[in-house]
Structure 1
Amino acid sequence: MRFHHNLVQGTVDALHQTFNDGKYADQAIQQILKRDTRWGARDRGFIAETTYDIVRYKRLYAAIANVKEPFNSGDLWRMTAVWIVLKGHDIPAWEEYYNTPVRRIKGKFDELSSDLKYRESIPDWLDEMGRKELGDELWTKEMAAMNKQAEVVLRTNTLQTDVKTLQEKLLAEEIQTTTDERFPDALILKERANVFQTQMFQNGLFEVQDAGSQTIAPFLEVDSGLRVMDACAGAGGKALHLAALMENKGQVIATDIYKGKLHELKRRARRAGAHNIETRLIDTTKVIKKLDSKIDRLLIDAPCSGLGVLRRNPDAKWKLQPEFIEKIKETQQEILQSYSRVLKPDGIMVYATCSIFPSENEEQVDSFLKSEAGTNFELLDSKSLLAHRDGFDGFYMARLKRNK
């Protein structure tokens, strides 16, 4: 493989922004990619994928390179050298790589690979918490899977087209996809491609959404004439899926505490042709009170640690802190307690997270059912998705019914 100095420099700069300036990796990469309009798809892909790979394995690569945070420019170049050696490539004859100890890098890798914390690059506190939550065997398997690059998955917008037609249109643009019977609306790209530049995306024929995430809206078991609430809608990925499942009939009330996210949802809904979505900003408790006992279906896609989506957000494990996880669990229970009141008798609620920790999932549902607010609720079904077992992002979902 031939390396280009300006592309590795771009990678180093993206790593600096991610590790030292506190930016999210995707934001840092996007900023770097704007630097040179002459970079083609392969160049841009190199910077993005190399940056993500080094972010995933920060602890391992830093230990092998014998560097510590905050990383200076020389440290980051040494980490890219480790990446090049471990990928089996020859070190370029550049000044930054003079005297790179190739044999020592390989030997140090062999030495550290016996320790999960280094092999899969996990902070000590997170490794300890993960073992406690999942047990050694399951935690080990899941962390290995979380360091694999996530596939690009599309969700067919059935308001505009069907899976077969979309697959044929993508193939005409030389974008090959496969299907998976577990996820009826999903198309999985065989090779990564910038699908956002296609006219099909601009026309709202699909959204980019992991296959695991695509299981949540159907789990709510909506019908076309119902009044449905997406309580933590964000930018609306699942609200759009709900609208499609409901065939644009009935009503989807999408709420969030962030005005900017709801604005993005409106934009996406227009592109998708989803006309039955209404957004409401949660700026006071009155919004929830007005919906008391008026909702047929409630989706609580709760804020969480995000440990189920580390394949897509590898820098999250370096930005997470144990205090945040404890705080977010309080928030999850508060949301369950306050939002559950909007359901009608016989209404159905789905509580979902993109976490793999039982303390954010099953234990939250158990606590809710034992509380005063959960007195009239019963658990109907629950489902967990794990990356090492199911091949996509990790999710949890529980379906509950409010009895009369």
Structure 2
Amino acid sequence: MEAYLSEWLSLIIRWFHVIAGVAWIGASFYFVWLDNHLREPPDWKKQKGIKGDLWAIHGGGFYEVAKYRLGPEQMPRELHWFKWEAYSTWLSGMALLFVVYYMGSPGYLIDPSKAQLSGGAAIAIGLGTLLAVMVIYEALIRSPLADNGKAFGLVLFAILVLVSWGLFQVFSGRGAYIHVGAVIGTIMVANVFLGIIPAQRALVGAVARGEEPGERVAHLAALAKLRSTHNNYLTLPVIFIMISNHYPLFYSHPHGWAILAAIGFITAYARHYFNLRHQDINKPSILVIAGVLTIALIWALAPAPRPAPQQTSNQPAVTDADIQTLMDTHCIACHAPEPSHPAFQAPPAGIALQDLSLLLQHRDKVRQSAVNSHYMPLGNPTGMTEDERQALGRWLDEQ
């Protein structure tokens, strides 16, 4: 019953997290698009303090949108804020981190072959990393470095690569990936909570008091726009991390941290094309380069061709009985129609391996996760040896 309720809890939180994330990222994409499509307004609008405007059509009607340079002459009766999308995404993401990684199966987070960590130590490393990177980012965004967009981007990218590498030294690949995602998500929500919303409150306060927004408010507004732009570039990498737990090809690779860095760079660079395109700056070479880099990554990760199986004196024959014993020892506790492992109500990914015909049906996934990447068994609590993995690989080759 505990595993059953845990599955429901994980599902509900994950579902809410995805819904909130769609709302937040959708709003982020829309407002960056909006800013980049604003055009110089007519003189009568300029006299009212309007910086730019645009016309759009959607839902069977025309929309006229205007952005003020700082604020209108008087506070509107109803003002819509965009903040709870960000807060609810982060809060649900942290809840999911605790339910799945901190309170769920230890194998999702801890890899004994990398570091012998207790649950408390792993949690302290994870949360400590989130806090440390957020503090560093806040120091940088408030420093003169923020005035140089390219330099700031390179420094932030280097920090995230270092964090990715460091987490891979102590956590499982899947645990490292999700924590890099949590680091990025924490930076993004800190941008909203510590920068964007305070700037908007200062601007609203000045307008409500009937004051002309001064230099301080203008500076806060400019910095808020910069934070919003940073969030826009971070969205595609963080979306990839959100779905990456389904693909051990990436996080179980010995150099998974470098793969994550490459994908983060490619996706953020591709996003740059669209941000420029919204400003009527068309640079298709950006997408071409991103595509070439993606193809290069696919080629680099491609498995080497397997030689034809051949029996040698150093490789004893592997029988069906040997493999059935191996599966009973290392796999069936989780990958059975009714798992005996307390963390699972159903076989992970719907893969049941109670007989050899099912093993052959899922041979490619088994090879990737148990032979090539060593990701399975999860956390290796049964102590599956390298010889057993190689025997499983040879048996799969021979079938």
Same fold flag (TM > 0.5) = no
Query: Rg bigger for which structure?
Result: 2
Q: TM-score, with normalisation over the residues of structure 1?
A: 0.29
Name the structure where strand makes up a greater proportion of residues. Answer: 1
Greater helix percent: which structure? 2
TM-score by length of 2: 0.29
